[in-house]
Amino acid sequence: MEKNITKMEFEDAEERIRQIVARSYFTSMRLGECSFTQEIYKDDENTMCRPMIGCENTHPSPKGFIQYANEYQFLVTICSFKNMIMNKMFAVEYTDLPKDIKILRSMRKGETSQRISYGQISNNSSMFISTRSGNLNVKVVWDDDETKQFSRKDCSLIDIMRINDISSIKITPKIFSEEFISRQSPKVSAIVKTYNDEFQHFMENFVIPQFVALNIDYTFEYNYYND
């Protein structure tokens, strides 16, 4: 049975990607083994390990990492597309939201105004739709001066924009260029083009309509992977 995803028929490659994303929920991995070929490299310089884009929501660190041979980094992006589509979220890094923000806190009993803390957008996180409120939410973190603890919560994007004087969001998802796809072998091209198209459909037919429905001002433009 073929182990290298770049030489598989599309249905088998699709199943391998599903398996890799599923295994990324666990932190154990075989040192030096490329997830996409199952080949083991003895030289550490030949393999890398990095998390899927925007996976902190579903894979709190140190989960979400994929080990791969250097030439297969683009397939980690494919797995990232798969994970975002599957979980109906999209990476904050595809927007121009600032890293450091003011965070609106809940009011305590007896308080007449809401508290504000200074924190950050959670690293490598994604925007997602709240099943309770229907809002677009963002994961935020801050150091609580009172409890002396590291805190986190989900904040409405609308609240973040209002308290930080942000009038519009620039959305710039990054996909593979036609030039990149055309340079690949027929089997690899089929994989990349399929997930590229699926991610574009997800952004244009699921994500953008959320901004429209919530009346959030935005601009939208694709960036491209060429290498």
pLDDT digits (tens, 9 = 90+) for 47-56: 899 999 999 9
CA distance 21 to 154: 24
pLDDT at 30: 86
Other Cβ atoms within 10 Å of 46 Cβ, number: 14
Q: What's the first-to-final CA gap in the chain, in angstroms?
A: 30
pLDDT category of residue 226 using cuts at 50, 70 and 90: confident
Question: How wide is the angle at C-alpha 38 spanned by C-alphas 36 and 39, nearest 5°?
Answer: 110
pLDDT one-digit tens code per residue, 128-153: 999 888 899 999 999 877 777 888 89
Average pLDDT, the chain: 92
pLDDT of residue 111: 67
Q: Is the pLDDT of residue 87 over 70?
A: yes
Q: Which residues pair with 152 in a beta bridge?
A: 141
- pLDDT value of residue 31: 86
**Residue 139: which of 99, 86, 199 has the closest Cα?**
99
pLDDT at position 110 is 67
Phi/psi-derived region of residue 215, left when phi > 0, alpha when psi is between -120 and 50, beta in every other case: left
Dump pLDDT digits (tens) for 90-122: 999 999 999 999 998 776 676 667 788 899 999
Contact by Cβ (8 Å): 86, 126: no
Check whether 157 has a pLDDT greater than 90.
yes
